[in-house]
Structures are given as structure tokens and as C-alpha cells.
Amino acid sequence: MNVDLSLVHLITEASLLVQLVMVTLLLASLISWTMIFRKWSMLKKAANAADDFEDRFWSGKDLSNLYSQVHAERHNASGMESIFMAGFTEFARMRKRTGVEPAAQLEGPHRAMRVALNREVDSLEENLSFLATVGSISPYIGLFGTVWGIMNSFRGLSEVQQATIAMVAPGISEALIATAMGLFAAIPAVIAYNRYSADVERLVGRFDNFSDEFYTILQRKVHSPS
């Protein structure tokens, strides 16, 4: 007795529930790979933008000129630019007001920079939770399909008098495909999540350090106006 164990045949002949499991895992894998490439591009762009802005910020250029230059570029500021723009905009607004204590002149920019930093953190962490979810539940979804396929195989054995390997091989094979697809979806998602989480943590650390350094510069400007 010849049994067709080709991959296409096993998938097309699988039970409806196992097929639904396979389709779910396939969609999860496709979506996660799309997010992996998009997140890689976004983090690379964010790191390059941070390097570029740090060079401009520490080049000795006057902060007012740098602010005017960034503002004149007419694009949506992000990363360090966003933190700088938020802090300096509030600082300039407070400096224009008369009779404002130095502490009050610094409180506004500090608060504005923290808000901008939190916004950047939210942007950098976007979609990471989806990758974590795919990485954690895909093996269990695949295992569910495996258990169901094996149950069907043994249920079929109860209806015959003489059991053979050929009779249970297709059901067990389709079940193992569900497990393999679960791992195929989970492993890249877990690797990407761990890698990108570390990258995001490094970027957030750089943004936080920049915010503190910029705040120190504003303190010197407030207490030593010239």
C-alpha cells in the first residue's frame, strides 16, 4: 500500500481544524516577518539620525541657530531632534516671559523633554509586543494542531481490525507539520524581539543621556545669561 506523504498532499488532506491552525500560523509568520523588516529599517534609520544630530549638536553651533535650522528643514522631527525641539521651544517661550524664576524657566523644558522622550519610546517599541506574542504562543498553537491530528489518527485506528503504520502515517505527518510551522513562526519572532528590544534599550539610553546633557546646558544658560 503506497501512501502519498508529499507536503502538499498532507496539507490539503489534513482535517479542517489542522488546516485552520496551519493558516493561522502562516499568517502570523508573514505578518511577523513584515514587522521584522520594517522594525529593522526604522531602528537603523533612528540610530543614523541620532548619530547625525549628535554631531550637529556638539559641533559648537549656537543652539538658536541649530533650532532654526532644524525647524526650517520642515519635516517631522523624531528621536533626539524631537527632544531638542520640544525642550528648546519651551525654553525660549519661558525666557520671553518676564519675572520668571530660573527654576520655573527650567521646569517647563524639562517636562517637555520628558514628554517627547516618552513619545519616542512608544514609537520605538511599537509592534514589539506582537513579535513577543507570536514567539510565545505559536509553538502552542502548532502543538494544538499536532495533538488534534494525532487524535484523529488514533480515532481512525479504532474503526479497523488490523492497524498498520501506513494507516496512521498521514495523520501523524500532518500533525508534525503543524508543530514545524509553529516553530517556524516562533523562532524568528523571538530572535527579532530579543535583538530589537536590546536596540531600543540602547537608543532610549542615548535619548535619555542627551536629555540630561541638554538640560545641563539650559541650566548654564539660565544661571549665566550672556
Our count of domains for the chain comes to: 1
Determine, yes or no, domain membership for 173: yes
75: left (phi over 0), alpha (psi -120 to 50) or beta: beta
Determine, yes or no, domain membership for 2: no
Determine, yes or no, domain membership for 54: no
State how far the Cα of 82 lies from the Cα of 119, in Å rounded to an integer. 9
Task: Report whether 183 contacts 139 (CB < 8 A).
Answer: yes
Determine, yes or no, domain membership for 1: no
Determine, yes or no, domain membership for 52: no
By residue range, what is the domain housing residue 14? Answer: 7-45+62-223
Determine, yes or no, domain membership for 50: no
Determine, yes or no, domain membership for 130: yes
Q: What is the pLDDT of residue 13?
A: 61
Determine, yes or no, domain membership for 56: no
Task: Report whether 169 contacts 52 (CB < 8 A).
Answer: no
Q: What is the pLDDT of residue 2?
A: 46
Please state the pTM of the whole predicted model: 0.80
Q: Show pLDDT as tens, one digit a residue, over the chain (226 residues).
A: 444 445 555 566 667 777 888 889 999 999 999 999 999 999 999 999 999 999 988 887 788 888 888 888 766 777 889 999 999 988 888 877 766 677 778 888 899 999 999 999 999 998 899 999 999 999 999 888 888 877 777 766 666 555 555 556 666 777 788 888 899 999 999 999 999 999 999 999 999 999 999 999 888 887 765 5
